[in-house]
Structure 1
Amino acid sequence: MTNAFELGQRIAEAGWVLLTGGRASGVMDAASRGAKAAGGLTIGILPTSDRAGMSAAVDIPIITDLGHARNTLNILSSQVVIACGMGAGTASEVALAIKAERSVILLNPGTESAAFFCGLSHRVMTANSPEVAIDLTRKFLDCTNPP
């Protein structure tokens, strides 16, 4: 969770808004807490019909009652998707991001995850630290928002 907390901090320090699944567990909570610690704005797109289980570090909760289908909202609302860890939910979000032609950064992915997702799209990159993930994010944003 150290990477997620630092990633949240770095996102806030860059002046970006952090969007997560909003729950009070795992990477979602750690990234939100990191962003709040750095004075950032956090949005949580929650899968339930209420705020139960929401991270205390979420400023703007979006209540969806969509369950896992809310992952589509997470992806379509993001310019760049950073995956920190790789469980089934994260893998589904990465796949949705590739389908939606979003840029994706896999932070410290396993060898198999990196090979699989990088093989699906040239928009998928890997990073070995939150700092590298932020540098890649800047590059992706510069390509999509030229001066």
Structure 2
Amino acid sequence: MSPRLSPLARLVRRTAGAAFAVLSLWPAWSAAATTEETLTAIEDQRVEAVRIQDFGTLGRIYAPEFLAVSPQGEVIDRSQLFQALAKGQSAQRFSTDDIRVLDLGATAVVFGRQTARAPTGQVTEVSRFAHVYIQRDGQWWCVSAQSTRMPEP
């Protein structure tokens, strides 16, 4: 026969059990990020992957059927984008800000501003962009982009 627990011991046992039940659900809660949080994180990963020339990560962000309109008005596919990124742009550093996400369900559009800086820190180019993402099999893919140069800063 087990010893009888005091009211305080029973309360502690129930509270600890409830706390364990809540904490065991924590990964499910943390995985339920909003579309805006998820796509903002993907955009941060994209900028870092461009900086370090991580084409494995970029290949998991840009869909195989990706098409874009460059700041020069050219239509480019994913292969052409990756070739352009691999061509010595490593001297420039890119950052993004003013991110806004238009959540349309399984499709979303990320709008933002990108700033390119020379190694000296001098701003070399500022552009506005729109990235169209679709959700396929639980993963967000960038399927299209458009970039417009802004007037010199």
Task: Calculate the TM-score normalised by the size of structure 2.
Answer: 0.24
Bigger strand share: 2
**Bigger Rg, which one:** 2
Task: Calculate the TM-score normalised by the size of structure 1.
Answer: 0.25
Bigger helix share: 1
